[in-house]
Amino acid sequence: MNFPKLLGTPFPTVQTEQIKLRKLRLEDAPTLFNYYSNENVYRHLDWNGPESLERCYEVINAWNEGYDEGWILRFAIASKVTDEIIGTIFLSEFAGKRAEIGYELSEEYWHRGIMSEAVKEVLSIGFNQLGLVRIQAIVTEENIASKKLLTKFNFKEEGCLRQFECHSVTGECKDMLSYSLLHTEFSKKNDEY
């Protein structure tokens, strides 16, 4: 996907009430490593996060190169006040007019409505600027917070994908729940969020 052409900028920056969505920078690496070191942050993901500070630099570079190559649009979720990274949110797995959304947030910032602000903006970018028709999410059964967030944005549960995701470190394969949101469903509720 040609993000600069579709978004009209090398990398978009979006501000909301509490946060700024912006490009990841190498100076974000220590903070990224710090919050990914918390098991509560990576518990429902398919990896444990970067295993070293050096790996954080590599991951940030890979995500930014992925933007240039058109396979991932990954934002830093940064504090609007300090500009310090507190999480990331992304669209990836682009196929035709669909993509997958994913996110994580430092535990220190949970339960403040921050991820709702980020999700609303990324959905808007996906549907209104990238022209997507469908955005999907794959979550573990036990990830109650993520399921609640997706339902808030009118995502529909489509079913269970058996033994769908295998963890890159433990090798454990888990059943995952598939959720999706269509552009028409987002448009109808957009003003309510």
Query: Can you give the pLDDT of all 193 residues of the chain as single tens digits?
Result: 889 888 877 899 999 999 999 999 999 999 999 888 877 666 666 656 778 899 999 999 999 999 999 999 999 999 999 999 999 999 998 998 999 999 999 889 989 999 999 999 999 999 999 999 999 999 988 889 999 999 999 999 999 888 766 655 566 788 889 999 999 999 766 655 5
Q: Choose among 147, 188, 143, 158: nearest CA to 44.
A: 143
- The CA distance from 107 to 18, in Å, is 16
Model-level pTM? 0.90
CB 113 within 8 A of CB 105: no
Beta-carbon count within 10 A of 111 CB: 9
DSSP track, 20-66: EEE---GGGHHHHHHHHTSHHHHTTSSS---SSHHHHHHHHHHHHHH
Q: Counting Cβ atoms within 10 Å, is residue 45 exposed (0-12), middle (13-18) or buried (19+)? A: middle
Q: Choose among 66, 85, 72, 108: nearest CA to 22.
A: 85
Question: How many residues are present in the chain?
Answer: 193
Domains of the chain, earliest start first? 3-188 (3.40.630.30)
Beta-carbon count within 10 A of 147 CB: 18
Beta-carbon count within 10 A of 81 CB: 9
